[in-house]
């Protein structure tokens, strides 16, 4: 974009910005003629999709700010009034996490909804994402908004939308809301109703106090077996909003030996002890690990900042703490639920980038198994689609530490899953094994699946172009083998020939049951590659030997694929 056009676009946006801070920020960039930064902020716009919005805080169309939130809320309100005739009676739930600007964005959302005549059911303080999703169904609302950037770095925030069925939005609502947002005028011209006036008109309503009790009772009822006992647990909220909820839920479940990480227990949008508040990231679990060693904990568990994800550390055969992968926790929970809870027509779901091991387990246990596209919205909606056929949704998971148990919350639930994970660990301890010992039992019976992931972070508009080019180049120059591994099936989920919605994902199934999947992230400026290797154990073979062999094969597969990817533009 030429500099004059860029300056005019930025100046016009600043003139319409209702927030003095971001308005001045953009005008300062224009004065300094910082064309590179202005290009990053105005060369594109945050796209509203099936994950809502997520981006860096700051002024500009490609940033999270009051103007973007105000226009998004107006578009959402108008779309709801067009599609949901009783929305003005049912209202919309508004929740938020503890990040910078989450309070302000939640207030903007509620004020816009109220001005549109739609009651906003607003949480008094911060709330976990799964509790916001639960409130939507509990209150019979037409939709919900959760202001959160989940596990992104401190400079991010986001805006997640749920439909009235309790799940995150899927097509056609995502594109419909996006079109309604595009039709909204300048942010400064959007009507607002402040909290005082909205309350007087019963358009700003407090989420009822009893909801917390209802949610806690409901997640405690999900437990397939109640195995509270002497299990020692270290827990971290990762400076997020799950702290008091998880500690209380575990206490009420009978777990009396729970030690929170004190430096990370209270919400803090600055995330002072971690650069990247994601339990999967290097260093994020250091404080938890140190405390778990100090108190000799059996397990350490962690939420991400909005408490929809759960990480688990457990002791290995030598007593050392090891982080379980999302796939390993998902496999453990799936096996545990299918064997400890007897239901007719059980259903388990996972995603196309998660381990295929759950499919093998489900077949052995007589359960229906299906894969969906990446994102819990697809898992939740598919579970609802199959319910009329008599299938009972037992659990679902995605490899990025997201799990839910049963039908209570139609999204990831790091609070409810924490209780079931503790039950599972206590049950293992009562049998004289650790969670990793239980995992070995499962793998000896159902096979050894090991996985890894490669991420390339490509920020900004130039990064988005690189990601697009990598996907296009793989389609233009197809591959027939990955190193010594022959491809048995190549899948392009964007082609419309597969029994799933179109998505920008490529996958290769390899002879021997291995697979590689490539996709851009839906929430971060990344291109992601998922690798899985299916290793056959030899009779009587030590698991350590099989794991060593599988890890070497997996590393070779990753190396060979990255050679092909770099030939096609991957940095």
The residues assigned a catalytic role are 150
475-489 as b/e: b if 16+ CB within 10 A = eeeebeebeebebee
The full DSSP string for 283-349 is: TTTHHHHHHHHHHT-SEEEEE-TTS-BEEEEEE-TTS-EEEPPHHHHHHHHHHHHHHHS--SSEEEE
Across the strands, what pairs with 120? Answer: 92, 204
Q: What is the CA radius of gyration of the chain?
A: 24
By DSSP bridging, strand 143-147 and strand 156-163 are: antiparallel
Under DSSP, the state recorded for 50 is: T
Could you give the CA distance from residue 96 to residue 110 in angstroms, rounded to a whole number? 11
**Cα-Cα-Cα-Cα dihedral sign, residues 114, 119, 122, 128:** negative
3-state SS class at 456? strand
Contact 233, 259 (CB under 8 A): yes
Could you give the CA distance from residue 501 to residue 173 in angstroms, rounded to a whole number? 14
φ, ψ (nearest 5 deg) of residue 94: -125, 115
Contact 348, 358 (CB under 8 A): yes
φ, ψ (nearest 5 deg) of residue 241: -105, 5
Contact 244, 220 (CB under 8 A): no
Distances (CA, A) of 86 to 74, 178, 305: 17, 21, 33
Task: Provide the angle, in degrees to the nearest 10, between the axes of the packed helices 20-32 and 35-42.
Answer: 140
Question: Residue 250's Cα: distance from chain center in Å?
Answer: 23
Distances (CA, A) of 569 to 95, 459, 465, 482: 40, 15, 11, 17
3-state SS class at 233? strand
DSSP H or E run through 246: helix 243-252
């Amino acid at each position: 974009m030429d500099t004059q056009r860029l300056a005019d676009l930025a100046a016009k946006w600043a003139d319409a910005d209702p927030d003095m801070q971001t308005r001045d920020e953009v005008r300062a960039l224009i004065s300094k003629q910082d064309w590179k930064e202005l290009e990053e902020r105005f060369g594109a716009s945050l796209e509203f999709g099936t994950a809502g919005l997520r981006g860096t805080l700051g002024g500009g169309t490609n940033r999270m700010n009051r103007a973007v939130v105000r226009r998004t809320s107006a578009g959402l309100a108008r779309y709801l009034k067009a599609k949901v005739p009783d929305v003005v009676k049912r209202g919309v739930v508004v929740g938020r996490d503890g990040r910078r600007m989450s309070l302000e964005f939640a207030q903007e959302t509620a004020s816009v909804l109220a001005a549109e005549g739609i009651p906003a059911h607003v949480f008094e303080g911060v709330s976990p994402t799964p509790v916001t999703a639960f409130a939507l169904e509990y209150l019979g609302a037409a939709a919900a908004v959760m202001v959160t950037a989940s596990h992104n770095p401190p400079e991010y925030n986001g805006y997640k939308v749920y439909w009235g069925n309790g799940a995150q939005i899927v097509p056609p609502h995502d594109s419909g809301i996006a079109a309604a947002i595009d039709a909204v005028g300048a942010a400064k011209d959007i009507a607002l109703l402040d909290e005082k006036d909205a309350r007087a008109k019963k358009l700003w309503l407090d989420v009822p106090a009893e909801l917390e009790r209802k949610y806690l009772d409901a997640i405690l009822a999900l437990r397939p077996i109640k195995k509270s006992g002497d299990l020692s647990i270290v827990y971290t909220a990762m400076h997020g909003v799950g702290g008091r909820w998880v500690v209380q839920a575990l206490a009420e479940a009978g777990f009396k030996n729970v030690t929170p990480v004190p430096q990370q227990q209270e919400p803090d949008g600055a995330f002072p002890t971690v650069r990247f508040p994601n339990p999967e990231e290097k260093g994020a679990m250091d404080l938890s690990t140190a405390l778990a060693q100090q108190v000799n904990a059996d397990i350490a568990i962690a939420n991400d900042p909005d408490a929809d994800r759960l990480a688990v550390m457990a002791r290995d055969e030598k007593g050392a703490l090891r982080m379980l992968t999302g796939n390993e926790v998902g496999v453990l929970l799936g096996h545990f639920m299918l064997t400890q809870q007897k239901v007719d027509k059980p259903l388990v779901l996972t995603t196309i980038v998660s381990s295929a091991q759950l499919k093998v387990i489900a077949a052995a246990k007589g359960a229906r198994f299906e894969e969906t596209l990446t994102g819990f919205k697809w898992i939740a909606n598919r579970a609802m689609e199959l319910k009329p056929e008599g299938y009972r949704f037992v659990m679902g998971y995605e490899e990025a530490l997201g799990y839910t148990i049963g039908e209570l919350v139609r999204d990831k639930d790091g609070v409810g899953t924490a209780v079931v994970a503790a039950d599972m660990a206590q049950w293992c301890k009562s049998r004289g094994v650790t969670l990793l010992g239980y995992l070995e039992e499962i793998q000896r019976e159902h096979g050894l699946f090991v996985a890894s992931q490669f991420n390339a972070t490509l920020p900004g508009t130039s990064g988005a172009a690189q990601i697009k080019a990598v996907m296009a180049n793989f389609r233009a120059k197809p591959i027939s083998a990955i190193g010594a591994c022959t491809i048995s099936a190549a899948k392009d989920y964007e082609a419309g020939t597969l029994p799933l919605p179109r998505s920008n994902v490529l996958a290769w199934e390899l002879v021997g049951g291995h697979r590689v999947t490539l996709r851009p992230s839906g929430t971060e400026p990344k291109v992601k590659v998922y690798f899985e290797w299916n290793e056959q154990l030899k009779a009587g073979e030590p698991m350590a030997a099989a794991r060593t062999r599988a890890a070497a094969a997996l590393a070779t597969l990753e190396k060979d694929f990255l050679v092909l990817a770099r030939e096609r533009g991957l940095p």
